[in-house]
Chains A and B, each alone.
Chain A
């Protein structure tokens, strides 16, 4: 039973990490590329680490909770690094896709 739960969580995590990277390659401009890695990858890592917690607390010696720390850390730092990257992209005046709405707002902020 636990093996099933661990497998499903692992597969979910792996697919989210993969989807994040697909978004990184597929999207046309930097601002759209940023969405994949910041969101999909974070949830993927959370699922993988949950799987690891269940795996180690059922099959090997005692509980292991260090994974909680890793996923907490990733959850806290993902928005901050995304913010820093988009700030430097705006500073360098990167081109966004033709059909982007509200480009005027960016000029106000810069």
Chain B
């Protein structure tokens, strides 16, 4: 896990890239003036806001991150079709349930990404992360955390936990190296 970026003037490379793209999309043009303005904004905004942002782990393996994003997008589409079928089917046959998934991740940012992916994929919505201590003291071992999720149609609890851990959590651990 790495908190500090390689260059001092570029504290969060991916945020800068996102700002650059969003500015161009917002103006709907790729003229020289707008590209120049986007570059300036992409450098100045992260620099100006870095003092009041808590340091988050940086993405170390961008290639893997891109592949994971593609996998998640594919899963979102299949999951949506699954949920649509469940909604249109008979309601009485659904067995909803709450499941708690033990987490290996320890930092806010990766846990947020995991919770969002879980919310968008097969029949599950993440409900709570607990116990939550915002600032761990230095050297203190973080205790085991759980992610509480609500499942629309719970059939096999253990299989679901294994899927979430292997399919979504393991790549995130590798991407952030933590």
Contacts and interface: CB of A to CB of B under 8 A. Distances in A.
Contacts, number: 125
Interface of B: 22, 25-26, 28, 76-77, 79-80, 83-84, 86-88, 91, 94-100, 115-116, 119-120, 123, 125-128, 130, 146, 148, 150, 152, 154, 157
A97 B125 CA distance: 16
Contacts of A106: 98, 127, 148
A42 B76 CA distance: 10
A36 to B, nearest CB: 6
A32 B150 CA distance: 8
Nearest to A99: B95
28 contacts: A16-B84, A19-B88, A26-B91, A31-B125, A35-B83, A40-B80, A40-B83, A40-B87, A69-B26, A76-B116, A79-B115, A79-B119, A79-B126, A80-B116, A83-B115, A83-B125, A87-B127, A99-B95, A100-B96, A100-B98, A101-B95, A101-B98, A102-B97, A102-B99, A102-B100, A105-B98, A106-B98, A109-B100
A109 B145 CA distance: 11
Max chain A C-beta neighbours (<10 A), residue from B77, B88, B125: B125
A108 interface: yes
Given A39-B76, A43-B77, 6 more contacts: A19-B84, A34-B125, A78-B119, A86-B128, A100-B98, A108-B100
A64 interface: yes
A33 to B, nearest CB: 10
* Chain A interface SS verdict (over half): helix
A108 B130 contact: yes
